[in-house]
């Protein structure tokens, strides 16, 4: 096991909300896990907290995140710093945060390559180190002499990824890594990531709102809604989604060739969790809700590889086949 997250619960005092509630998941060695959910569902909070650094304004109420046995949430900042960009790496959604605004890009890459704080790494060594990945990700060598503000969103996205991959981490966390990219670049990046992951034996947690991408890229999918896991299933055709929220995500996913407006959106909006969940978090948006759903929080139940948090699991209508191609 590379990462084991147990009962992770976060509180954001300023907004008085719980961004994550009792999240438990595991990422195996060389596994590709995809975490899916809408914006505001807790993906970014999870990405940072499972690497030991809850987002600013969020505090750990309970839980742990063990990487190779070490609880990242209990480590001192210096201990964490020794792991980042070496054993574990995060490509955040706001990838510009990866780069120091007053450093040229190659200097940010030098920070990642530097093994000890007193090591000096020359510009030429940095450029030689980033070159193979730059060639694969279509990043011209001259861009490393730029300042972060001179780059487009897509360039920053790819250069942030290069920094994360430079030291071949054991665990890579990608938070919406394709959101600033056009379709072609996105497809190339996804293909590259798959190849790189299998060549380097890295475990990957990929966080996205795109369930079609999750099913094609991941091996296992965790669906997050309002800070709770509502379904965990194998990717691909073997794991037909069963939770009404996951099915709603599939129904609403737009794909090339669709008749305009033919997709069915999930009604309503997710409301942030403001206290211990008393019923099902999806109750107000669920077409199959019944009185019990508002009264009792369903447990995550099922088989080892497919678990669902829903009271009506055995009585729900069958999902429409092949909603996502
Ligand atoms: S528990 Fe009830 S409200 Fe929640 S997803 Fe299942 S059927 Fe819908």
The residues facing 293 across adjacent strands are: none
Alpha carbons 49 and 21: distance in angstroms, whole number: 12
Whether 298 lines ligand 1, by a CB cut-off of 6 Å, is: yes
Mutate to test the pocket of ligand 1, among 231, 244, 248, 285 (most ligand atoms within 8 A of CB): 244
How many whole angstroms from 224 Cα to the centroid of ligand 1? 14
- Specify the pLDDT at position 18: 97
- Specify the pLDDT at position 324: 39
How many whole angstroms from 181 Cα to the centroid of ligand 1? 35
- Specify the pLDDT at position 85: 93
**Residues written for the chain:** 325
* Furthest C-alpha separation in the chain: 66
Whether 282 lines ligand 1, by a CB cut-off of 6 Å, is: yes
Whether 312 lines ligand 1, by a CB cut-off of 6 Å, is: yes
* Residue in this structure with the two tokens 């669709």, named with its chain if needed: 258
Alpha carbons 249 and 278: distance in angstroms, whole number: 24
Reported as a single tens digit per residue, the pLDDT across 35-60 is: 999 988 999 999 999 999 999 999 99
- Specify the pLDDT at position 130: 96
- Mean pLDDT, contiguous 10-residue spans, the chain (325 residues): 95 96 96 94 96 97 95 96 94 86 94 73 93 94 96 90 95 89 85 93 94 89 97 83 93 65 74 92 95 96 93 81 39
Reported as a single tens digit per residue, the pLDDT across 305-319 is: 999 999 998 888 876
Whether 311 lines ligand 1, by a CB cut-off of 6 Å, is: yes
Crossing angle for the helix pair 153-165 and 183-200, to the nearest 10 degrees: 0
How many whole angstroms from 225 Cα to the centroid of ligand 1? 12
Alpha carbons 149 and 96: distance in angstroms, whole number: 9
Q: What is the model's pTM? A: 0.91
Whether 114 lines ligand 1, by a CB cut-off of 6 Å, is: no
Structure tokens at 175: 């938070």
How many whole angstroms from 311 Cα to the centroid of ligand 1? 6
Query: Which ligand 1 atom is the nearest neighbour of the CA of 293?
Result: 2
Whether 300 lines ligand 1, by a CB cut-off of 6 Å, is: no
Q: Are the C-beta atoms of residues 9 and 23 closer than 8 Å to each other?
A: yes
Whether 310 lines ligand 1, by a CB cut-off of 6 Å, is: yes
189's CB contacts (< 8 A; 6+ apart) are 137, 158, 161, 177, 178, 181
């Amino acid at each position: 096991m590379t990462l084991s997250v147990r009962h992770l619960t976060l509180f954001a005092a300023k907004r008085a909300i719980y961004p994550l509630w009792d999240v438990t998941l595991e990422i195996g060695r060389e596994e590709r896990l995809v975490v899916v959910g809408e914006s505001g569902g807790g993906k970014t909070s999870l990405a940072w907290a499972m690497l030991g650094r809850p987002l600013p304004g969020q505090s750990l109420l309970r839980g742990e995140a063990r990487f190779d046995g070490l609880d990242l949430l209990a480590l001192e900042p210096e201990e964490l710093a020794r792991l980042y960009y070496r054993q574990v790496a995060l490509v955040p959604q706001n990838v510009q945060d990866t780069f120091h605004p007053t450093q040229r890009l190659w200097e940010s890459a030098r920070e990642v390559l530097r093994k000890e704080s007193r090591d000096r790494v020359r510009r030429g060594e940095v450029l030689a180190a980033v070159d193979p990945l730059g060639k694969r990700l279509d990043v011209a060598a001259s861009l490393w002499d730029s300042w972060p503000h001179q780059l487009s969103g897509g360039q920053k996205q790819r250069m942030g990824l290069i920094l994360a991959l430079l030291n071949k981490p054991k665990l890579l966390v990608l938070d919406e890594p394709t959101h600033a990219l056009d379709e072609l670049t996105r497809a190339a990046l996804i293909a590259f990531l798959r190849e790189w992951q299998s060549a380097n034996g890295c475990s990957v947690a990929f966080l996205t709102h795109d369930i079609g991408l999750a099913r094609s890229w991941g091996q296992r999918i965790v669906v997050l809604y309002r800070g709770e896991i509502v379904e965990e299933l194998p990717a691909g055709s073997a794991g037909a989604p069963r939770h009404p929220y996951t099915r709603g995500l599939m129904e609403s996913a737009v794909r090339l060739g669709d008749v305009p407006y033919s997709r069915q959106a999930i009604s309503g909006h997710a409301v942030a969790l403001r206290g211990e969940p008393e019923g099902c978090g999806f109750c107000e948006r669920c077409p199959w809700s019944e009185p019990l759903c508002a009264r009792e929080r369903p447990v995550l139940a099922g088989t080892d590889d497919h678990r669902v948090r829903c009271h009506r699991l055995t009585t729900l209508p069958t999902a429409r086949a092949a909603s996502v191609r």
